[in-house]
Structure 1
Amino acid sequence: MESRNSSVESLEHSPPNVPEEEHVDSNEGVVQIHQRSDPLDTSDNTRASSINSSQESLKSTSMQVYASMSEKNAGTKSGNAVKTHSVSAVPLPNTRWTHRQWIKFLSLHWLSAYRVLIGLTFIINIVVFAVLYKRLSLAAPLIATAANIFAAVFVRQEDLINLTFAFVAKMPSNLPFWFARTISDLHHYGGFHIGCAISALFWYTYFVYRNTVFFLGNSDAGTATASMWVDIIACYSFLFSIFLVCVTAHPRLRVKFHNTFEHTHRFGGWTALIVLWIHAGVSSKSPENPDMHANPAVWLLAATTFIIILPWTRMRRVPITTELVSSREVKLSFPFKHMPYTSTMRFSRSPLMEWHAFATIPNPDGESAYIVISQAGDWTKAIIQNPPTHIWIRKPAAMNFLAFSPLFNSLLLVATGAGIGPMLSLLRSPAIANMKKQGRTIKVMWCVYQPDAPHWQFVQDIIRNVDPEPRIFDSKQGRPDVAGETTYLMQEAQIEAVMVVSNPKVTREVVEGVKAWGGAAYGAVFDS
């Protein structure tokens, strides 16, 4: 069984022979010569002496993220020197990857936990269909459809999320590294949601085929009843509804037509549920099917309906206080007693039409909380330019992937821009305070425009309370290679796991880059 120490050793590598190089310093605008040095070669290096030979294949020049770094004193805040960092912009040499490196890259890129869960859900449904194919009654595919829809809805229910996340987060930190790394991928539960929804579409397509054959047989014999006509019309209405919901949920379409996706997902889903109730009622009248009270599909639909209605009973309209952080960011404070740390809550100005999820940060008084919103679309732009006095919130707040931080012995938190918001909740949490007491390493990397500006002072204070020497980049001087800097710092500080909150591109690059070196990395999920 792999120990936690061996997980650190798996990040070891032999430093490459890197020649002198020149680059344009982003602070001064002059060409400077820097001799690169490997941080692992210093005399105070405390890494484990043994090197995991399985990582040797990863020594591709294209994966070398060592960068010469210069620091400047950008002023003082709260008695601490605020340092910003600049990095070499010279591109890494283009080298040919080995077959093993290509396989590893493809597995990291395509075989994510999200996609694995989708695949496993498909496999389970295919096995069930193959085993029961010859014994399936007319109502059986409808029951399977109802079961998959129930699972798809239930897996995203906030109470279930909080229960499972809290259970995982309370696991001991001395777990084997491979287990902690695997179980922390639980936040990809959206893959199960997608897998069940698409499986429901396949099951229902088969049901429509069987039901159409049954209807045509009765129609030819002149025995088709009015309820059969209603049922067959409802069949194709539901098929169209669920097909539309699944198609518009494709990642590319939902990003390009987000409002259309959200409206289709909500209203199309409700329509599909109503149609399923019609099916359950009609099918229960068939002599070969059980009565309605004994029909499993009816009970599954009842449970699904309850889960869908429940959030609408938990909505509240609350007053908000607006504080402009910058021209593109705003801080919204609202009353909420005992807001849990590392949680996400949904907000809306028109509850029937759209909801937006933001990570919440509890205030020290325990009576209120706040969110940091960055301009990223029409909704956020309207909030920043014309802040409302009240906003709708939906309880409860759901725990996010940052709750799994205590599972690791050392941690690097990476954020860009307002992505620091979710990190603030974690940095102020009792979990981080406990990790610090235990002597565990916690580092912070943040890239933002003018981090030393007065409006970011509250962020600087929270960060430096945990990490007195964070790595902060001023994007005004040029955007760094966040993925490269993350991997560099991870190896320099012997970090076990990385948590990142950024845009989809940077998040993917950081997660894949860290995992390629054998570390654990997690970021927000944008596909579900």
Structure 2
Amino acid sequence: MDNLVRSEFGTDDVELNLRQINADSVDDSSKSSADGQDALEQQTWDSTLPGKQGSRIYRWLRFTAFSHYRKLFTLVFIANLIGAVIFLVRYSRTDFGAHIALAQNICAANIFAAALVRNEHVVNLLFLLCACVPRSAPLWLRDHLARVFHYGGLHSGSGVSGVIWFAIYWALVVKETVRHGRPNTPGNIAILVISSICLAVLIIIPLSAYPKLRIRYHNYFECLHRFLGWTAVILFWVLLFVSIASTSKALGRPYGVCLYKSAAFWFLVLITLLIVYPWTRLRKRQVFPEVLSSHAIRLRFDYAPVALCQGIRVSTSPLLEWHSFATIPDPRSDKGFSLIVSKAGDWTSLQIKQQPVRLWVRGAPIHGVLRIATIFNRIVVVATGSGIGPCLSLLSPYEIPCRILWCTRDPILTYGQAIVDEVYRADPDAVVINASKGRRPDMVLETYKLVRQIRAEAVFVIANPSATRKVVYGMRSRGICAYGPIWDS
């Protein structure tokens, strides 16, 4: 821990050599001239960043426009778009009843896929499968697998595709019922009304998930996404029952047989189970708060074990809002873990002030982006503020060559000596930067220094959105594998 981060920060913002604070100072005059020359050369290449690869347009296309999240979204969307074109071309050549039922079935299949990819067990399985690749595998393969956390692109792509297929279904219903002069029976009128309301609800859901709106009005987005999603599923159930009744009467078949043979029925059963299942695991758990400072609190739980780099969702109002936090396994207990809450808004400030003794927990713990770090031989972990929590979850129980770069305000005053000690236990040479003076370091440069020092294969960033995007882009644009949460929908 001899390396100090001085440069442009001043002496108040140097690395916290907390474990050597009482150590004897090094007599620089006793160093040999050769050592001094080596140190000078080390400082020279450490203090400069190489140029970014390619032109600005190339970098925007590769790292922004065609991110893995958008690639997955586009893959699902284009597949559905091709299917929709084929569907519409063949529409006039096939039986009306079979065609309109097919549109309904494909819509239900897409909504099922969107719900399935958000299930915590499915997400954990995806991470575990990708984490099985050996460290001896080619770096390009591990790089692609490491971006498994972009699975939200599958969710969004399937959800938007489901809305498009429902719009096609609705258009066919309108065309065949109104324009072709079919009888305006109560059943047909009910199908028109219900499908129109359901389509409006389905359109609002992806519109409310537009990134800028989602970030600015996150609590409203969360409520809209949850309650409108439930409303859409209920309306879909009602629509299915009414449409099956109409089909049963037209074909002269028993209602139960038509319902049983409907693919949409079975997809809706699975969708409903996926929605209900996490709520069957809703529990109010005991919490043991440990106040770290006026800006942070550590909440300890003892009800269940957690795996490597898993997080949980906690709430004080289960129907209104949920907050995800990475867990830190407690080495003293098989079923103990903790999480760090730092002041970042009204809810977190309230928890620090009230020191809760019970919180709602829903569903199973879910793996996060750091879970995939184990497929790399050497890594650099970058954190700001309470982002150090997930990093400790990775490094405390798992031995992996790494360096930690942690930038936060007054680490000891904010998070306590125990957290700082845990950081140094995980990495004795950790770089901890005190940003209490408001002067932020060049995180890209500091990260690059550590990458060069240990020849790291990858960088993992757990920070606020702007810092995460900056460091990840700064590394990837220079040919270094880097990963960080993407805050997708």
- Shorter-chain TM-score: what band? 0.7 to 0.9
Q: 1:116-515 alignment to 2 at 5 Å?
A: 116-136=71-91, 137-217=99-179, 220=181, 223-284=183-244, 285-286=246-247, 287=250, 291-364=258-331, 365-429=333-397, 432-433=398-399, 435=400, 441-453=401-413, 455-477=415-437, 478-515=439-476
Normalised to the residue count of structure 1, the TM-score between the two structures is 0.80
Note closer, same or farther for the CA distance 1:301–1:392 as it changes in structure 2 (3 Å cut): same
Deviation per residue, 1:120-164 (Å, 9 max, x gap): 111110122223333451122211111110000000101111122
Note closer, same or farther for the CA distance 1:275–1:174 as it changes in structure 2 (3 Å cut): same
Query: How many residues of Structure 1 are paired with residues of Structure 2 in the alignment?
Result: 448
Q: Structure 1 stretches of 5 or more lacking a match?
A: 1-21, 29-69, 436-440
Residues 497-506 or 472-481, more deviating: 472-481
1:385 offset after TM fit, Å?
1.6
Output the amino acid matched with 1:474.
Answer: N
Where does residue 62 of structure 2 map in the other structure? 107
Deviation per residue, 1:283-309 (Å, 9 max, x gap): 223247981110001100110000100
Note closer, same or farther for the CA distance 1:353–1:98 as it changes in structure 2 (3 Å cut): closer
Note closer, same or farther for the CA distance 1:99–1:523 as it changes in structure 2 (3 Å cut): closer
Deviation per residue, 1:383-417 (Å, 9 max, x gap): 11222221011131011111111111110010000
Normalised to the residue count of structure 2, the TM-score between the two structures is 0.86
Q: Is the 8 A contact 1:146 1:297 kept in 2?
A: yes
Output the amino acid matched with 1:206.
Answer: I
Output the amino acid matched with 1:500.
Answer: V
C-alpha distance in structure 1 between counterparts of 2:137 and 2:22, whole Å? 39
Output the amino acid matched with 1:356.
Answer: H
Q: Is the 8 A contact 2:458 2:481 kept in 1?
A: yes
Please give the secondary structure, in 2, of the residue aligned with 1:139.
helix
1:92 offset after TM fit, Å?
9.5
Q: 1:59-70 alignment to 2 at 5 Å?
A: none
Note closer, same or farther for the CA distance 1:418–1:455 as it changes in structure 2 (3 Å cut): closer
Bigger share in strand = 1
C-alpha distance in structure 2 between counterparts of 1:150 and 1:81, whole Å? 64
Output the amino acid matched with 1:181.
Answer: D
Q: Is the 8 A contact 1:315 1:395 kept in 2?
A: yes
Q: Is the 8 A contact 1:75 1:452 kept in 2?
A: no
Note closer, same or farther for the CA distance 1:126–1:180 as it changes in structure 2 (3 Å cut): same
1:72 offset after TM fit, Å?
6.4
C-alpha distance in structure 2 between counterparts of 1:371 and 1:525, whole Å? 21
1:99 offset after TM fit, Å?
6.2
Q: Please provide the CA RMSD for this pair.
A: 2.7
1:464 offset after TM fit, Å?
1.9
Q: Is the 8 A contact 2:406 2:431 kept in 1?
A: yes
Q: Is the 8 A contact 2:385 2:407 kept in 1?
A: yes
Where does residue 36 of structure 1 map in the other structure? none
Q: Is the 8 A contact 1:344 1:400 kept in 2?
A: yes
Q: Structure 2 stretches of 5 or more lacking a match?
A: 1-5, 26-42, 92-98
